[in-house]
Amino acid sequence: MNLGFGTGPLGNLFQAISDGEAARTVTAAWESGIRYYDTAPHYGIGIAETRLGQVLSQHERSSYVLSTKVGRLLEPQEANGRTDIANGFDVPATHRRVWDFSASGIERSIEQSLARLRTDHVDIVLIHDPDESPSPETGLTEAYPVLHELRRQGVIKAIGVGTKDLSILESFASESDVDYLMIAGRYTLLEQPALDTVLPACTRRGIRVLNAGVFNSGLLAQTAPDETATYEYSAVSTPVLERARAIAKACERHGTLLPQAALAFAGAHPAVASVVVGAAKPEHIRRNAELFAMPAPPSALWEELKAVGLLRADAPVPA
């Protein structure tokens, strides 16, 4: 199980960063020992892939694992002064996203991603957020067969799906032969709904989990959560904030930081292959890597959290 780097913030997620800052962040991830990188055309309509590729192309291709996503095909358009902020990214609206799960659409998407990433292959291709498409079922009925065939041909090493929608994840875990599920924000120290059906199915079927969004979009990244924190990329509600604060106080009583415990817990389930965290600043990814490398929090912390109902009793915890 390892720490992975998620590149959503490199696409100017909600706030623009410079090309230089993005490059320094990827470099910091590399220098921290991170060798798994996840990206997508959706992130900044291609900018995250471009920025990631500029740095990773300086390294031997066999020395890292790279995943990108399909489903949203990028089509050029005139920006005319518009930005993509409505979709969460502060970049000029030079492209529009077109949902396309067809064989030609997926092949075009991969080809475009390879060009932006400056590489001749990606290791893992994930179907991205099929639940947000006009026809969510086509992720499984159309996109999956295409990727399955590309994997059979050896064009792709591994395939999967990435989403926060548990019903979609459960369908893929039960009805497909995917290698990976990327679970976004549904298995964290704050909440563990993926433990009901998705993670047990992954364990039974030998599907590896890429656990993303483990800070719940920022709330668990704070040592002492406050009203400035975000949850699900929006302002945090009082009940959710109070729950996070209660967990943080328990961590403090046991000599542990909340983000340290969040990272340790996120990787403790036996199905998890990688804990994937995003960052827009070098110091943030360095801090995450340092916290991830620390010894596991004491067993007394998990015992207390379970005893008071702040953690599910059936949740695996770090040894």
Q: Which residue among 43, 144, 180, 231 is the active-site one?
A: 43
CB-based contacts of 264: which residues, under 8 Å, 6+ apart? Answer: 292, 294, 296, 297, 318
φ, ψ for residue 2, nearest 5 deg: -135, 175
DSSP 276: E
Helix (H) or strand (E) holding 103: helix 103-117
CB-based contacts of 200: which residues, under 8 Å, 6+ apart? Answer: none
Q: Is 43 a catalytic residue?
A: yes
Strand blocks (E) in the chain: 2-6, 36-38, 65-70, 72-76, 95-99, 124-128, 158-163, 180-184, 208-212, 230-231, 234-235, 272-278
Residue 269 vs residues 194, 200, 229, 266: alpha-carbon distances, Å: 11, 10, 26, 7
Catalytic residues, by residue number, are: 43
